[in-house]
């Protein structure tokens, strides 16, 4: 293992990828810029506005920060690779990239779980909300959002790094743990069992989300006020959850069942969906649906326009 210096992976883009590399370069930079802009806008708005220092907005801020963290593990390297003829990454950086991308995906999910719990308490137990969602409870939930993914992925990386490899070609746009495991020269039973355990833990989280929404729907039937709360604050969460779930399914489909016979455009989409739609659309969904967020963003935008148009005094 000490002699491993590079793991090579392929950017399986469109057939005319090299001929139009500057077009793809510009498009990718634009997408990454929008991801940074949208997420930073919500983060700065939530931090600066004291009225938004509520649990729901704090968890949203964490979701946006996680979007920046995860995409930082992919886009800078990918943008650089577009202009190169070969696409290589060192053994250490390959595992680091896999760690960042997949801890971010796991953190996205744990944050959505915590947000479901927050909405459950807010709508189903409104009189107890502030006694349950204390500052200490919020900190614990935020720690859970990050610690669980970091521990889960750290163990997976350690197990994969101990495997002797019989090949160093990863047919993906980025490094991932499962692709490295598939290159092993020895049986990977331990890795497979550990992966199954992690999946079961996340399935338990999914059960909790389903349970929370069953309670929320039941509460909405009892009160028009609860129904309005659900439409205002739960719909963005539900849309983000659906968006993320679809992205994960696409990624799993490609990792487990992806075929070289798939068209290049399909292969690219299956890989990139998880790094494109959740971090790009989460802040848009919440920015459009949450009145307080939308109102403050528009207010700041109007203030900037007024300041720019106002003539300077000598």
User: Class for domain 6-309, per CATH?
Assistant: mainly alpha
Burial of 170 (0-12, 13-18, 19+ CB in 10 A): buried
Q: What is the pLDDT of residues 184-240, one digit of tens each?
A: 889 899 999 998 899 898 888 888 988 988 888 888 887 777 777 778 778 888 888
What per-residue confidence (pLDDT) applies to 14?
Answer: 43
Whole-number percent of the chain with pLDDT over 70: 83
Q: What are the beta bridge partners of residue 9?
A: 170
What per-residue confidence (pLDDT) applies to 258?
Answer: 57
Does 311 score more than 70 pLDDT?
Answer: no
The winner for highest mean pLDDT among 7-16, 199-208, 254-263 is 199-208
Distance CA 179, CA 252 (A): 12
Q: Domain limits of the chain?
A: 6-309
* Cβ-proximal residues to 163 (8 Å cutoff; 6+ apart), any chain: 180, 181, 183, 184, 185, 186, 188, 191
Binned at pLDDT 50, 70 and 90, residue 1 comes out as: very low
Does 19 score more than 90 pLDDT?
Answer: no
Q: Which residues of 289-302 are buried (b: 16+ CB within 10 A; e: fewer)?
A: bbebbeebbeeeee
What per-residue confidence (pLDDT) applies to 10?
Answer: 52
* DSSP H or E stretch at residue 152: helix 135-161
What per-residue confidence (pLDDT) applies to 110?
Answer: 94
Does 36 score more than 60 pLDDT?
Answer: yes
Average pLDDT over residues 272-278: 86
Evaluate the CA torsion angle 108, 113, 114, 116 in order and state its sign: positive
More confident residue, 254 or 204: 204
The winner for highest mean pLDDT among 104-118, 155-169, 271-285 is 104-118
The mean pLDDT value of the chain amounts to 82
Residues 281 and 31 sit within 8 Å (Cβ to Cβ): no
What per-residue confidence (pLDDT) applies to 18?
Answer: 65
Distance of CA 157 to CAs 10, 22, 76, 107, 172, Å? Answer: 21, 34, 22, 16, 18
What per-residue confidence (pLDDT) applies to 301?
Answer: 60
Of 97, 77, 209, nearest in space to 153 by CA: 97
Average pLDDT over residues 163-179: 82
What per-residue confidence (pLDDT) applies to 111?
Answer: 94
Can you state the angle between helices 135-161 and 91-124, rounded to 10 degrees? Answer: 150
């Amino acid at each position: 293992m000490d002699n491993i210096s590079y793991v090579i992976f392929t950017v399986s883009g469109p057939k005319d990828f090299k001929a139009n590399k500057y077009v793809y370069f510009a498009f990718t930079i634009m997408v990454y810029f929008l991801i940074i802009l949208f997420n930073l806008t919500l983060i700065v708005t939530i931090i600066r506005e004291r009225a938004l220092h509520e649990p729901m907005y704090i968890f949203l801020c964490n979701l946006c920060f996680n979007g920046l963290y995860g995409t930082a593990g992919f886009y800078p390297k990918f943008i650089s690779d577009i202009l190169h003829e070969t696409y290589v990454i060192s053994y250490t950086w390959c595992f680091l990239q896999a760690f960042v991308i997949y801890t971010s995906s796991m953190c996205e999910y744990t944050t959505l779980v915590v947000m479901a719990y927050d909405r459950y308490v807010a709508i189903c137990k409104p009189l107890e909300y502030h006694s349950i969602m204390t500052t200490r409870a919020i900190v614990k939930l935020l720690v859970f959002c990050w610690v669980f993914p970091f521990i889960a992925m750290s163990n997976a990386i350690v197990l994969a790094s101990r495997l002797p490899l019989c090949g160093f070609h990863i047919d993906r746009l980025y490094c991932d743990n499962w692709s490295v495991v598939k290159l092993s020269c020895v049986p990977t039973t331990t890795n497979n069992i550990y992966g199954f355990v992690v999946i079961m833990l996340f399935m338990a989280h999914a059960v909790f989300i389903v349970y929370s929404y069953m309670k929320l729907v039941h509460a909405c039937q009892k009160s028009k006020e609860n129904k309005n709360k659900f439409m205002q604050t739960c719909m963005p969460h539900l849309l983000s959850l659906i968006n993320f779930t679809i992205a994960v399914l696409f990624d799993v489909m490609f990792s487990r069942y992806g075929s070289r016979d798939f068209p290049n455009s399909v292969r690219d989409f299956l890989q990139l969906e998880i790094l494109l739609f959740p971090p790009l659309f989460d802040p848009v969904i919440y920015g459009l649906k949450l009145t307080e967020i939308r109102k403050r963003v528009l207010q700041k935008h109007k203030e900037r326009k007024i300041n720019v148009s106002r003539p300077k005094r000598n």
